[in-house]
Each structure stands twice: as structure tokens, then as C-alpha cells.
Amino acid sequence: MEFPDMTLSETQPAIHFGRWAAATMFCVNGFVVGSWAPQVPSFVVRLGIDEFTLGVLIFGYGLAALWTMTLAGQLIARMGSGKTLRLFVLPVIFMLPLAAQTSNVWVGAAVLVLFGSAIGGMDVAMNANVVAVERQSGRALMSTSHGFWSLGGFAGGSLGGIAIQTFGPLEHAILVATLAAVAVALCYAHIGDGAPPPREEGPKHFTWPRQVGIYVIGAMALLCMCAEGSVLNWSALYLQKELFADTAMVGFAFAGFSGVMALTRFCGDGIRNRFGAVATFRCSCIVAALSMLVAGLSPWPWLAIAAFAVCGIGAANLVPILFSTAGNQPGLNSGVSMSVVTTIGHVGLLLAPSIIGFAAGKVGIASIYVAVAFLLAAISLMAGKTSAADTKSS
């Protein structure tokens, strides 16, 4: 949505509605993804698979998402972020009902590939759309938008377990799809592209930078997103299978994680402005590591749920700080460095959970969470790498 011939008074309402439409897209995406977490145990039972097989299926989900992220980037360049977002949000609405009614492994694999494709494409499109809205409004909106994603995840995770136990997996999935469809319908027409970015001279094809530092930041993002993915994809199964929680309770692990993360993200910029990126990142890593360790060692489901919630406090600011660090790397184009870190980081969020599944079948999910805790502690030792986040306004 461009406004070349409109007055300021005419563009302001469109920008306002575009801002909230973008926030709604984040919330819908988080709600659908969060609702998938409590569906995982019933999905495993219905297909009669173990953790290893689930890991293989999630691997396909992740590969499809990464491929569609690249496709979405090409579509955005051709027709804008708004049209691309409208394209990908529609299949996202219907993915959970498809997953909730399949009882065949091969069909389940195909559904997860479609699910990953839709979520991956929507992820890139909605982030690009926020950048476009920021350009129109002249205000930073990215952290708040990610906060809305966490709010959606909280709602999906917290209500999912109760709905599944009360009504059943398919009925829950249909309810999720209905609510998502209503939200999308209310703001679909207000999704805007904003002003197109200025054309810059340079290579027409993406080239990977030679600076080693940006790959270190990318690796840190990968490990941080791996921690997020481990809670999303495995916390419900962990509570049910190893801590013997009932169906109504299993969704609260990711719900608590997402809800607390949302609240922390809404005030994350103020925390970083006061204490600096390095101190905020280091303390956040330590909080996330200690709480993840408690979750992995917990003998009770309620303690694990509380630990996952506290982990949300620590995890909330890790990826935003790393993205800000990437965008402020000296000697690198911010767009190139952001692309590198985003791509590497999403490997952690989308593919690492499948690797966790391979290992969980051998050593148990609890041991995986303990290992993730030590990884987070190791990342805290690299907090000095984030100092570039304070050199410019992000």
C-alpha cells in the first residue's frame, strides 16, 4: 500500500491501521504455532510414532520453512510485503485442522511440510511488513510486534491443553482455525506495504560476507533459537511422558514461556537502554540457563512449568539484541548482515528441535533440557560480542 498522492491527514489512518494489522499477523502466527505445542502428544499417539520419528517429521517441517523463507524474500521483492503476507497467512489458518485429523505417518509428514512452508513464508513476510510500516510511520515497532507473537503463543498454549482435553484434538484445531480466520478477516484489507525501499547500486545477487564475526553472531542466534524451539516442540511431550502431567496441563509449559516472554519483550528496549546490550544479554543468558536447568531436573510438572516461564524472561531479549548487533556490524551492509543472522538463527528454531528428537529417543527429553542449559551458559561468556548493538539506534 503506497500513498504517493495522499495528504498527511489521509495517510495517518492508513498507517495506523497498517501498524495494527501487522501486529495482528504476528499474534495470529504465534497463536497457531502455540496451539500446535499441546497438539504434539495426541499427534504422536494418533500416528503411533516415537521421538525419533517425530524428530524426522519436524526436520521436514523445518526444511520446508527455510525453503519458503527464501521464496518469500523473492516474492516480497517482486510484489511487496503486504501482498506476500496476504498470500501466506491464508494457508496458515487451515494447517492445524489438517494436522489434527491425520492418522497416517506419510500424510502427517506431508501436512507438516505444508505447515512449515506456510509458517516460514509468513514469518519472513510479516517481519518485512513491519519494516515497511516502520518506514512509513518513522517509529520502531519490531520489538512490540514480536511481543504480540509471544502473546499469541501464550494464548494458544494455555488454552490448547484444556480445549483438547475437553473437546478433543480436532475440535480444538477447528476452534483455533476459526479464531485465526476471524482475526485475519478483520485486518486483511488493512495490511499495507508502506513506501518501497530506495534502490541501491550493488551486486544483484546475494553474496555471503567474509567477516567471521557475523557468523559468530549467527551461531549465537542459532543456539538461542534452539532453546526457544526446544520449549515449543518438546515441552508438552516432556510434561506428559516424563513428568506424567495430564492433557490439560501440558500446554502451560509453552504458554508460560510465551506469556512471560511477551511481557518482557514489551519492556525489553527500556531494559537495554538502561543497562546496555552486553550486560542485558549476559544476565538474560544466565537466567535462561538456570531456569532451563531446573526444568530439566524437575521431578514435578508444576515446577517445570514455572521454570519454563522464568526461562521466558531470560530468552526474551536474546534474539532482539543479536539482531540489533547484526544490523550494526562495522564494515557490513545492515541488510546483508541481518539476512545472514536471520537465516542461521532460524536453522536453530526450525531444525534443531528435530535433532533434539533424535537425541531424546536415546537419553530422554530431560537430559536435552539440561544440555540446552549448559549451551545457554556458554553463550553468556560471549556477551561481549553484542556491544555493537549499543553503537547505533536500532
With a CB cutoff of 8 Å and minimum separation 6, the contacts of 346 are 65, 66, 69, 120, 123, 225
pTM of the entire predicted model? 0.73
Q: Using one digit for the tens of pLDDT, what is the confidence trace for 66-104?
A: 888 778 877 877 788 889 899 999 999 999 999 999 989
**H-helix or E-strand spanning residue 370:** helix 365-380
Q: Specify the higher pLDDT residue, 163 or 354.
A: 163
Instruction: Judge whether 394 and 229 are in contact, CB under 8 Å.
Output: no
Instruction: Judge whether 92 and 29 are in contact, CB under 8 Å.
Output: yes
Spatial distance between the Cα atoms of 308 and 36, rounded to a whole number of angstroms: 17
Residue 3 has φ and ψ, to the nearest 5°, of -130, 55
Share of the chain above pLDDT 90, in %: 40
pLDDT > 80? residue 343: no
pLDDT > 60? residue 334: no
Tell me the pLDDT of the chain averaged across its residues. 84
Looking at residue 7, what is its pLDDT?
A: 43
Q: Using one digit for the tens of pLDDT, what is the confidence trace for 175-225?
A: 999 999 999 999 998 887 754 444 544 444 556 777 888 899 989 999 998
Lowest model confidence (mean pLDDT) among 129-143, 152-166, 293-307, 377-391: 129-143
**What is the maximum alpha-carbon separation in the chain?**
64
Spatial distance between the Cα atoms of 366 and 332, rounded to a whole number of angstroms: 40
pLDDT > 50? residue 5: no
Question: CA 89, 91, 92, 93: dihedral to nearest 10 degrees?
Answer: 100
Looking at residue 197, what is its pLDDT?
A: 47
Cα 289 vs. chain centroid, distance in angstroms?
19
